[in-house]
Amino acid sequence: MSTAGHEGRIDYRSLKLRVGIELHRQLNVGGKLFCSCMPVREEGPSHFTRLLRPSESELGEMDPAARFEAVKGFEIKYLYGESSSCLVEADEEPPHDVNEDALKAAISIARMLGSNVVDEVHVMRKMVIDGSNTTGFQRTMLIGIGGQLKVGDRTVGVQTVTLEEDAARIMGSEGRVKKYCLDRLGIPLIEVSLEPVEVHRSPQEVVEVAASLGRSLKSTGLVARGIGTVRQDLNISIEGSGIIEVKGVQELPLIAKIVDYEGKRLHWMRTVSEELKGRGISRERAVEGPIDVTDVLSKISKGFIRRVLSSSDVALAILARGYDGLLGDEPYPDVRIGRDLATIAKLFGLGGVIHSDELPGYGIEESMVGEIRARLGASDLDGFVIVVGNEAIASRTLEAIASKLREIVDGPPSETRAPTSDGKTRYLRPRPGAARMYPETDIPSMEITEEMMRRAEAIIPPTWDEQVKGLAGRYGLSRKLAEEILDSEMYTLFEDIISRYSVKPSVVAATLTEAITSIRREGLDVGKITEIHLKSLFEKISSDEIAKEAISDVLEAIAGDRAKTVDEAMDVLGLRTVSDDMLVDIIGEVLDANSTLIRERGEKAFGPLMGEVMSKVRGKVDGGKVSELLREALERRLAKT
């Protein structure tokens, strides 16, 4: 297959690229949705481990996403602490009544978006068995249907407004054990799903819609701010494709890149599907096998396959009919079927896959390729995929890969994908069907009374404009800066910092918005800059340890991985040294503050004064120099009096 002509830009309009946004934001109503725990960050110290098994849903079918997670067979380790988790999070106690403030906030938001609030709310269980919920499902309830959002001259329809519980926070995995922290589980989330937006000229259009929805939610004052309090899911499709659900995009700027990448990826998958049909391949005939090829691969003398196979593992292969050349082709950067197949293998805990388009290679010689092809009965147009590992895991992995290869024949398949930090996506699991919802029988349905509607509608926030003006006036910020900080995830942090430290609000606001944005533009990882860093930075500014001129340098040092803490950044940047002029100033301040002591004790005041000056400059300037300059200054003071 030629890849020429695929490079670079694509025509979104002719692809009929459509993107539906689901915005999830934590509600800032204190407490969790189904218990009285506090939404505080807490990692451990205790833990328990669980296994999840999918159950039949209400409609009696096993959900494809659930099945996929189940056959992976992971064990899940949950870390918990006492403030943020109780038996409800541990799935050891039935849920309590729904948090009324959260319900009220959800109704207010639904009304603000012009949504029809349901007469009676039913809590549902949405099957999620990747371990992120101890129950194996997420509790969620539909609050509003319909509505609209104005974005510039476009009106975007609102599909639904739902209230749900946040999932546990993933902490990584060790072997076949996944680790989650329970602190985030159960925090109330509002989810707004918008009608799909057609991309005309640029994916930036999608970013604008998401930003606008974000602003309207933030304007209510009911949602939480901060990193991790907001996540966007994107439902992306092109003509002839299934729907790709990209889960959990945290930053707005990534959205444009992801939409562009998915547009290209779906375009390629559609091209592959057409090519397969052209080669006469049907879904049913697309895959054969698996067969055991351990004996062929054990002839390899060196390399990773040799190392893996020396243990008790096996090599299994499937025939990918019609796929020759299509597994390894990469028409756009990182758009390649082989990449997705490797991701599936990794999800099963294996290292990756070997496919025919990359052979000979990995120590597999031409003759071995021929032998494998012969055994699989492969024609010139066929490809094959090999996985190496524990027999049971390898065969389950190949089952998942086979079903993916079959699906592609009928067009780009629906699936759930995860965003990567560079604005691409990777395969996560099949897209769950409607089958995954069933009623939460532990909680009775709740009637939304007129009284509740009145109370919810009484929460009418000032308009965005009024809020910006108020903020600008209160803290002496420019209108532009006030709007930027109000729109920022850092807004709560901003309020927190100016209430704690004596620093100019405009300096804090500019740091949290403009300074961080320009560091991101330089290509540094601003994700490395945490709230702890920022608080520590402003603490040092308020105690004059760091001049505000050094703010960008300190943050760049952290984002650029040259320092892990603000203190380290000060060392790296040489901010510890105190110039002679600064030292003279400091000495002058100390003498001013101690005039009584100096009057009473004369030259004998030197000792305590020396101690005080040293406490301010220790580590930054030589003690001998301090002693010399202090003695001179003290003598001048005494001479004056």
Residues in CB range of 355: below 8 A, 6 or more apart:
320, 327, 328, 338, 341, 383, 384, 385, 386
274 binds, among Zn ion, other proteins, none (CB under 5 to 8 A by kind): none
Q: Does 79 bind other proteins (CB under 8 A)?
A: no
| Dihedral sign, Cα of residue 37, residue 39, residue 42, residue 47 | positive
CA 144 to chain centre: 26
Please tell me whether residue 50 binds other proteins under the rule CB under 8 A.
Answer: yes
Question: Residue 92's binding partner, choosing from Zn ion, other proteins, none, with beta-carbon cut-off 5 to 8 A by kind?
Answer: other proteins
In the window 408-467, what residues touch other proteins (CB under 8 A)? 434-439, 441, 444-445, 447
Nearest to 239 by CA among 6, 416, 431, 17: 17
The answer to whether the beta carbons of residues 451 and 71 sit under 8 Å apart is no
Q: Binding residue for other proteins (CB under 8 A) from 129, 185, 192, 633?
A: 129
In angstroms, what CA-CA distances link 10 with 14, 265, 419? 9, 11, 20
- What would you measure as the largest C-alpha separation in the chain, in angstroms? 106
Q: Output the CA angle 529-533-574, nearest 5 degrees.
A: 100
Take residue 516 and report the two structure tokens written for it: 């961080």
Provide, rounded to whole angstroms, the least separation between the CB of residue 97 and other proteins: 15
Residue nearer to other proteins on the CB measure, 236 or 630:
236
Exposed, middle or buried by CB within 10 Å (0-12, 13-18, 19+), for 363? middle
Q: Write 249-257 long-range contacts (CB < 8 A, 24+).
A: 249/419, 252/207, 252/210, 252/211, 252/214, 253/207, 253/520, 254/419, 254/421, 254/423, 255/203, 255/206, 255/207, 255/210, 256/202, 256/203, 256/204, 256/206, 256/207, 256/423, 257/203, 257/422, 257/423, 257/424
We find the least distance from the C-beta atom of residue 473 to other proteins, in angstroms, to be 41
Peptide bond between residue 360 and the one before it cis (omega within 30 degrees of 0) = yes
Q: Are 226 and 493 in contact (CB under 8 A)?
A: yes
Nearest approach, Cβ of 424 to other proteins (angstroms)?
Answer: 28
Name which position in 7, 11, 56, 295 contacts other proteins (CB under 8 A).
Answer: 56
Contact call for residues 107 and 454 (beta carbons, < 8 A) = no
CA 635 to chain CA centroid, Å, is 62
| DSSP designation for 512 | I
Residue with smaller CB distance to other proteins, 163 or 408: 163
Interaction site with Zn ion (CB under 5 A):
35, 37, 86, 88-89
Under the binding rule (CB under 8 A), the answer on residue 15 touching other proteins is no
134 binds other proteins (CB under 8 A): yes
Residue 126 is a binding residue for other proteins (CB under 8 A): yes
Smaller CB separation from other proteins, 165 or 487:
165
Residue 86 touches which of other proteins, Zn ion, none (CB < 5 to 8 A by kind)?
Zn ion
- Closest to 637 (Cα-Cα) out of 573, 593, 574: 593
Question: Cβ of residue 223: shortest distance to other proteins, in angstroms?
Answer: 22
Cα 226–528–420 angle (5° rounding)?
85
Among the listed ranges 138-146, 337-345, 407-415, 621-629, the one in contact with other proteins (CB under 8 A) is: 138-146
From the list 27, 35, 66, 163, which residue makes contact with other proteins (rule: CB under 8 A)? 66
Shortest Cβ distance from residue 156 to other proteins (Å)?
Answer: 18
The distance of closest approach from Cβ of residue 63 to other proteins in the complex, given in angstroms and rounded to an integer, is 10
Please state the three-class secondary structure of 403-414 as a single string.
Answer: HHHHHHHCCCCC
CB of 41 to Zn ion, least distance (A): 15
Nearer to other proteins (CB atom), residue 124 or residue 428: 124
* Least Å from the CB of residue 56 to other proteins: 7
Q: CB under 5 to 8 A by kind: which of other proteins, Zn ion, none does 37 bind?
A: Zn ion
Element (H, E) at 265: helix 252-278
623 sits near other proteins (criterion: CB under 8 A): no
**Partner touching 53 among other proteins, Zn ion, none, CB below 5 to 8 Å by kind:** other proteins
CB 461 to Zn ion: min, Å = 29
Which listed residue (43, 58, 292, 410) binds other proteins by CB under 8 A? 58
Residue 73 contacts other proteins per CB under 8 A: no
Residue 109 interacts with other proteins (CB under 8 A)?
Answer: no
* Distance, CA of 230 to CA of 232 (rounded, Å): 7
Residue ranges in 331-350 that form contacts with other proteins under rule CB under 8 A: none
Compute the chain's Rg from CA coordinates. Answer: 30
Count of residues interacting with other proteins (CB under 8 A): 51
Q: Binds 124, which of Zn ion, other proteins, none (CB < 5 to 8 A, cut-off by type)? A: other proteins
Binding positions for other proteins, 141-180, rule CB under 8 A: 141-142, 145-146, 160, 162
Of other proteins, Zn ion, none, which one does residue 269 interact with (CB within 5 to 8 Å by kind)? none
Smallest distance from Zn ion to CB 171, Å: 19
| Contact partner at residue 360 from Zn ion, other proteins, none, CB < 5 to 8 Å by partner kind | none
Binding pattern for the stretch 85-104 against other proteins, x by CB under 8 A and - elsewhere: --x--xxxxx----------
Q: Is 72 exposed, middle or buried (0-12, 13-18, 19+ CB in 10 A)?
A: buried
Token readout for 339 is 């990449």
| 171 φ, ψ (degrees, to nearest 5) | -115, 10
Contact range with other proteins by CB under 8 A, out of 137-145, 179-187, 358-366, 479-487: 137-145
* Phi, psi values for residue 317, rounded to 5°: -130, 145
Catalog residues that contact other proteins under the rule CB under 8 A. Answer: 48-59, 66, 87, 90-94, 116, 118-122, 124-127, 129, 134-137, 140-142, 145-146, 160, 162, 434-439, 441, 444-445, 447
